[in-house]
């Protein structure tokens, strides 16, 4: 909390200067007092927003979310947006003044317009982009897949983060989109929760609303244990959802098996890949649900044909149209979005549907992903993109 407050306070410096410049141009009295007061208010409001989400609690009224929280997050993200330009401007613009023979000055107008640009960009990311999801079709060629499973369809959802900032109404939209594709199985690879347990019932309602011929399966993620995870598992089971925690199930077509396994959360060291694969029949094609994509290397070494993961959100914020190469997750994860191969093994990292931290997406669309399995030599089209 102290670190977050310190970062937020630092971000308010260019904002406060820019706000003072705006007040001066509007002819308001004491513009520096106005800028400083707004910056101080921003720091105070940040502390309240963070505490309200640790853990995520239900609110008595949605008005505070709509009138305070969401507008504040637009402002806070706009301040983040200004950091790099402000640093560059603070160094470069005074140098330009000196070269022109002018006394160096604080680039107040530059801070003001950079913040305004941030409001536009971040307003789009919070108010529009995170609400507008895609349905993405991806074909995956599986070496050794029995022809009876050729065309097997998996509705893949991940990182729902249902809570105050991601309501269950959004989750129902995702579920309806997945159900409309008539998949053979539906899977959710972790982080159903934002934090806490207040929204477990909503999550069970959403995931329990998924429909698939051979069932609905879930693996747990780190956020699912940001509170007590067991009640969520029980509620999902009551809805007919199978939570795979270091275990697997057999799926069959014409007497031929595919082994679907799931491991528990890696962050809390609950995962056990050996245990998850213990009941796997010899030579059975294996699909693994693992919230953390970093387990892919181990899974590939254990002859897991397809690993389905999430966790990274594709960075959640990335450079538009180049999100696979220029994103926050690219800096911190080996596997962060889309398809990856190691020999005959394949990993698909889901871009996520909800958000964590600031409720913003930019350059990384939330998606319901429909994966179609193809036996080697039967692929109909390429789907190598994220």
Query: What is residue 120's predicted lDDT score, i.e. its pLDDT?
Result: 96
How far apart CA 261 and CA 264 sit, in angstroms, is 10
The pLDDT mean for the chain works out to: 91
Q: What is the mean pLDDT of residues 227-256?
A: 95
Query: Is residue 286 one of the residues assigned to a domain?
Result: yes
Query: What is residue 380's predicted lDDT score, i.e. its pLDDT?
Result: 52
| The pLDDT of residue 210 is above 50 | yes
User: What pLDDT, in 10s, does the model give residues 23-35?
Assistant: 999 999 999 999 9
- Cβ(247)–Cβ(270) below 8 Å: no
User: What pLDDT, in 10s, does the model give residues 45-54?
Assistant: 888 777 777 7
Confidence of residue 100 (pLDDT cuts 50, 70, 90): confident
Give the count of beta carbons closer than 10 Å to the beta carbon of residue 346: 23
Q: Higher-confidence residue: 285 or 321?
A: 285
User: What pLDDT, in 10s, does the model give residues 268-307?
Assistant: 999 999 999 999 998 899 999 999 999 999 999 999 999 9
231 and 251 share a domain? yes
304 and 213 share a domain? yes
Q: What is the mean pLDDT of residues 7-28?
A: 94
| The pLDDT of residue 362 is above 80 | yes
How far apart CA 336 and CA 328 sit, in angstroms, is 9
49 and 176 share a domain? no
In sequence order, which residues have a C-beta less than 8 Å from that of residue 380 and are 6 or more positions away?
139, 374
Query: Is residue 162 one of the residues assigned to a domain?
Result: yes
How far apart CA 132 and CA 60 sit, in angstroms, is 27
Domain count for the chain, please give it: 2
In sequence order, which residues have a C-beta less than 8 Å from that of residue 294 and are 6 or more positions away?
266, 333, 334, 335
C-alpha count within 13 angstroms, C-beta hemisphere, residue 256: 13
Query: Is residue 156 one of the residues assigned to a domain?
Result: yes
How far apart CA 258 and CA 284 sit, in angstroms, is 6
125 and 139 share a domain? no
| The pLDDT of residue 59 is above 60 | yes
92 and 209 share a domain? no
User: What pLDDT, in 10s, does the model give residues 111-156?
Assistant: 999 999 999 999 999 999 999 999 999 999 999 999 999 999 999 9
Global pTM value? 0.89
C-alpha count within 13 angstroms, C-beta hemisphere, residue 91: 5
- Cβ(337)–Cβ(324) below 8 Å: yes
Q: Which domain holds residue 42?
A: 2-129
| The pLDDT of residue 378 is above 70 | no
Q: What is the dihedral of CA 275, 276, 282, 285, to 10 degrees?
A: -160
71: left (phi over 0), alpha (psi -120 to 50) or beta: alpha
Q: What is the dihedral of CA 251, 151, 244, 279, to 10 degrees?
A: 40
Query: Is residue 386 one of the residues assigned to a domain?
Result: no
274 and 298 share a domain? yes
Query: Is residue 324 one of the residues assigned to a domain?
Result: yes
Backbone angles phi, psi at 142, to 5 degrees: -115, 115
Place of tokens 């969401």: 70
Q: Choose one of 70, 97, 129: the last residue of a domain.
A: 129
As to burial, measured by CB atoms within 10 angstroms (0-12 exposed, 13-18 middle, 19+ buried), residue 282 is exposed
| The pLDDT of residue 107 is above 80 | yes
Question: Sheet containing 247-253: which strands, arranged edge to edge?
Answer: 247-253, 256-262, 285-289, 306-309, 345-349, 338-342
Q: Choose one of 110, 129, 148: the last residue of a domain.
A: 129
104 and 146 share a domain? no
Q: What is the mean pLDDT of residues 72-94?
A: 91
Query: Is residue 233 one of the residues assigned to a domain?
Result: yes
Give the count of beta carbons closer than 10 Å to the beta carbon of residue 381: 8
Q: What is the CATH number of the domain that holds 184?
A: 3.60.21.10
How far apart CA 71 and CA 75 sit, in angstroms, is 6
């Amino acid at each position: 909390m102290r670190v977050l407050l310190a970062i937020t306070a630092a971000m308010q410096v260019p904002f406060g200067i820019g706000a003072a410049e705006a007040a001066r141009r509007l002819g308001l009295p004491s513009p520096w007092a106005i800028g400083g007061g707004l910056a101080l208010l921003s720091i105070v409001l940040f502390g309240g927003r963070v505490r309200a989400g640790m853990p995520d609690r239900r609110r008595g009224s949605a008005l505070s979310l709509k009138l305070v929280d969401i507008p504040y997050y637009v402002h806070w993200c706009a301040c983040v947006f200004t950091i790099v330009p402000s640093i560059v401007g603070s160094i470069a613009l005074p140098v330009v003044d000196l070269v022109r023979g002018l006394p160096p000055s604080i680039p107040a107008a530059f801070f003001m317009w950079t913040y305004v640009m941030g409001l536009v960009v971040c307003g789009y990311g919070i108010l529009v982009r995170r609400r507008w999801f895609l349905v993405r079709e991806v074909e995956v060629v599986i070496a050794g897949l029995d022809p009876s499973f050729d065309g097997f369809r998996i509705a893949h959802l991940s990182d729902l983060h249902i809570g105050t900032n991601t309501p269950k109404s959004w989750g129902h939209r995702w579920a309806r989109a997945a159900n409309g594709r008539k998949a053979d199985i539906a899977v959710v690879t972790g982080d159903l929760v934002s934090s806490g347990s207040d929204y477990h019932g909503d999550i069970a309602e959403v995931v329990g609303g998924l429909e698939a011929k051979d069932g609905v399966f879930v693996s747990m993620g780190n956020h699912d244990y940001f509170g007590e995870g067991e009640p969520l598992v029980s509620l999902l089971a009551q809805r007919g959802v199978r939570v795979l925690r270091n275990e697997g199930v057999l799926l069959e077509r014409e007497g031929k098996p595919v082994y679907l396994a799931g491991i528990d959360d890696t962050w809390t060291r609950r995962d056990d890949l050996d245990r998850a694969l213990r009941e796997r029949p010899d030579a059975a094609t294996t699909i693994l649900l693992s919230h953390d994509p970093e387990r892919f290397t181990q899974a590939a070494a254990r002859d897991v044909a397809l690993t389905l993961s999430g966790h990274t959100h594709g960075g959640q914020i990335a450079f538009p149209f180049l999100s696979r190469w220029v994103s926050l997750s690219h800096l911190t994860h080996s596997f962060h979005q889309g398809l990856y191969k190691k020999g005959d093994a394949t990993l698909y990292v889901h871009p996520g549907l909800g958000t964590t931290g600031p409720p913003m997406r930019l350059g990384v669309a939330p998606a319901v992903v429909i994966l179609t399995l193809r036996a080697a030599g039967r692929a109909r089209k390429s789907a190598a993109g994220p």
